[in-house]
Amino acid sequence: MNEFNIGKRTILVFSFLAIMIALSSFGSGCSAGSAPKLDTVFEGSWTGEVKASDGANSSVVNLNLQQTGKSRLTYETPRSCVLTVKLLKNDGDNGRVYSLAESTGGFCDKLLLGTLSLRKQGDNSLSCVLTSLDDKSPTKISEKGTLHRPGK
């Protein structure tokens, strides 16, 4: 009879261990699923017009922000150039600051290593400020505008 009890106990212990392992892996999967979601408010495509601080020149820009991969700011004709943007600072739910890291040339070279500041203005609108470094142009470039999600 002792052999029967030992066998029964062994099966019971292994069953208990298997259940605990299964529950612990399920539990960790649940806690990982409940982790805070990464902010996606600023991600995606944006388009709008930016104007020089003197109000003389305006340009249409398209901004594509990605959490992974390269984010880009594209100036349409007549400037026709592209800047790669990289996140520098997260100002909470309402703002971001990006560095202008790479340029395809032309006007964009004047903004290279400058900054792009974004502020949330509702669900489908961002204010933006593009600023050059002092030494990249004889005069500091500063452009401001509003970007919207396409079709909104």
The Cα–Cα gap between 103 and 79 comes to 12
Q: What is the pLDDT of residues 11-38, one digit of tens each?
A: 655 555 555 554 444 443 333 433 333 4
Secondary structure (3-state) at 55: coil
- Residue 31 has a pLDDT of 36
Determine which helix (DSSP H) or strand (DSSP E) holds 110, and give its type and residue range: helix 107-111
pLDDT at residue 141 tops 60:
yes
**Alpha-helical regions (H) of 69-122:** 107-111
- Residue 26 has a pLDDT of 42
Q: Give the residue with greater pLDDT, 53 vs 135.
A: 53
**What is the token pair recorded at 143?**
């452009």
**What is the token pair recorded at 122?**
């509702």
Q: Does pTM top 0.85 for this prediction?
A: no
The Cα–Cα gap between 12 and 59 comes to 74
- Residue 93 has a pLDDT of 76
